[in-house]
Structures are given as structure tokens and as C-alpha cells.
Amino acid sequence: MAGLNMNITPAAGHIGAVVTDIDLRDLDAEAVESLRTLIGEHLVLAFPGQGSMTDEEQVVFTSHFGGPYIHPVARAMGVTEFTSGRIIDDVDHPPFQDKWHTDVTWDPTPPTFGCLRMVDRPERGGDTIFSSTHAAYDALSDAMKSSLDGLTAWHTMGDETAFRSKAGDAVVDATLAIAPGAEHPVIAVHPVTGRKHINVNSEFTDHIVQMSRPESDAILDFLYAHCANPNFAMRWNWTVGDVVLWDERPTLHFAVADYYPRRREVVRVNVR
């Protein structure tokens, strides 16, 4: 079985590891448990050289880390089958993930893990940056930590006008009926490790519930800039066939869009 002799190389100071000598299509229980331990420690695991993996095999692999997750938009469109999804960017479909975010935090029960596989890569560019919000929290002063404890923030789908222009009113209205938004703690505690992390993102967090809008904006702007500090981050330069798995909860990610209008295609699976 693959995984018994895998090699692990840390990717950065606070986040990420590169795992080689492993075939993600052929994992026994011991290998899966090892990967669960590694993801708890490193938050992001990059697996080069998985080019033979199919969409179905990616779903099976990601399911080792959680149950089926279907995006609210897909649910609104009547999708009930748990499958992978494709993100294709090209001249007619400009990239839109070039913002710091955690996936679908406007869902009351958002995904806990994400998995991407590179299918078609531009000649240059198209990296993905991941940031540890554990490390960002640890770097706060004790006074700031105390002031944030107990606060909650309201998360929405983001730019609703842009969403309506792309998806149409019917899809957006159906999506909002399923997931109109969600309230989450500003400082969350990881359910497995017990570590605290900052739990807001500039894409989907609208406001801090217990504050006035000016107060909320000031605090959130500080937290967004703080979490984007490169000292807390790793940057992955993709090769076709790479697979990256990450824990959504204590991380943010940013898909660099410097390749547009060239084509980039990834397969995504989320679980919770």
C-alpha cells in the first residue's frame, strides 16, 4: 500500500508540507491516519505527481477527511449527488478567486477540508497562496486576543450584485433561501487540535455583530491585513497532476490570477 514510505518536507515556517513517494489512489488505514496527523500539524499538504488520479478517485481520497459537502449554489440547482467540481478560467471566464478567503463561510455548516488537483496549468503564474490563521492569532497581542474573544461575525455570499450578473436572479434567490448567511465566532477553536484561529475573511465576512459598522470595519480591516502577512503563508507553484489538501478552518487561500487570459483548470472537492 502507498504511503508507508512517504517523505515529508515542510514548505514554510508556519504552514504547509510537501508529501512525496505516495499514491493517493492506494491508501491503507495506516497511511490515512498518518495523513490526518500531518494535516493537523501542517494545515496544507501538497502531493506532487498524482497525474493518474481521476475525478472519482479524488472524491474517494478527500472523503477520508470528512463527509459529503454540496455547495449551496449546487443544492439550489437541485444537485443531490456528491461529486467533484471544475473551475475553468480562460479568456471568456475570468478568474474570480483572487481574494483571501475561506470557502463558503456563509454556509452555517461550511466545508472543513478542500482538495484541488491541477488539470491544465498556464505556462507561468496561477500559484495558490495559503495562510495560517493559527499563526496569525498567535501573533496578536494579549489585549487584542482578549478583545476579540466572544465576538461573532455575520458572513454572506459576498458581492451579491456580481453573483446575480453571473448566475441570474433565480439561482441567487434559491441559494439565499437555502443559505442566507451565517454567524460564526471571530476567534474559533479548532475542534481537533484545540488551537485558536482567526475566523474572518475579506470575501465573505460582512460585519462583527456586537459592534457598530465603523468599529467593525476598522477591526476587520486590521484582521484582514494581519492574516495576509507573508510571514504566516506558503505559496504553491503548481504542476499538472499536483494535488493539494488543506484544512479550511484555520487557513485562508488566495488564487493568484496573474495568468489571465491564459487557461487554468482545477478539479475541486470539499468535505465536512
Domain spans of the chain? 7-271
**Cβ(245)–Cβ(115) under 8 Å?**
yes
Q: Which of 101, 155, 207, 249 is catalytic?
A: 101
Catalytic residue (choose from 25, 75, 226, 268): 268
**Which pLDDT belongs to residue 19?**
99
How many CB atoms within 10 Å of residue 4? 12
Contacts of 262 (CB under 8 A, 6+ apart): 90, 122, 123, 125
Given a contact cutoff of 8 angstroms between Cβ atoms, the answer to whether 261 and 92 are in contact is: no
Rounded Cα–Cα distance for residues 83 and 69 (Å)? 9
Distances (CA, A) of 241 to 46, 58, 183, 197: 11, 11, 37, 31
pLDDT digits (tens, 9 = 90+) for 151-195: 999 999 988 887 887 788 999 999 999 999 999 999 999 999 999
Based on the residue annotation, tell me whether 103 is a catalytic residue of this protein: yes
Annotate 228-264 with three-state secondary structure: CCHHHEEEECCCCCCEEEEECCCEEEEECCCCCCCCE
Q: Is 253 a catalytic residue?
A: yes
φ and ψ at residue 246, rounded to 5 degrees: -145, 155
Name the phi and psi angles at 120, rounded to 5. Answer: -140, 120
**Phi, psi torsion values for 270, nearest 5 degrees:** -120, 145
Q: Out of 103, 107, 242, 247, pick the active-site residue.
A: 103
| Low-confidence stretches of the chain (pLDDT beneath 70) | 1-4
Residue 226: its pLDDT value, please?
A: 99
DSSP per-residue string spanning 123-176:
SS---EEEEEHHHHHHTS-HHHHHHHTT-EEEE--S-HHHHHHHH-HHHHHHHH
pLDDT value at residue 97: 84
Grid look-up 512525496 returns: 20
Question: For residue 119, which phi and psi values (nearest 5 degrees)?
Answer: -105, -45
**What pLDDT was estimated at residue 165?**
79
Domain 7-271 homologous superfamily, CATH = Clavaminate synthase-like (3.60.130.10)
CA-wise closest residue to 251 among 232, 225, 270: 232
Identified catalytic residue from 14, 121, 155, 253: 253
The pTM of the full predicted model, rounded to 2 decimals, is: 0.95
Angle at 219 between CA 216 and CA 224, to 5 degrees: 115
Beta bridge partners of 101: 253
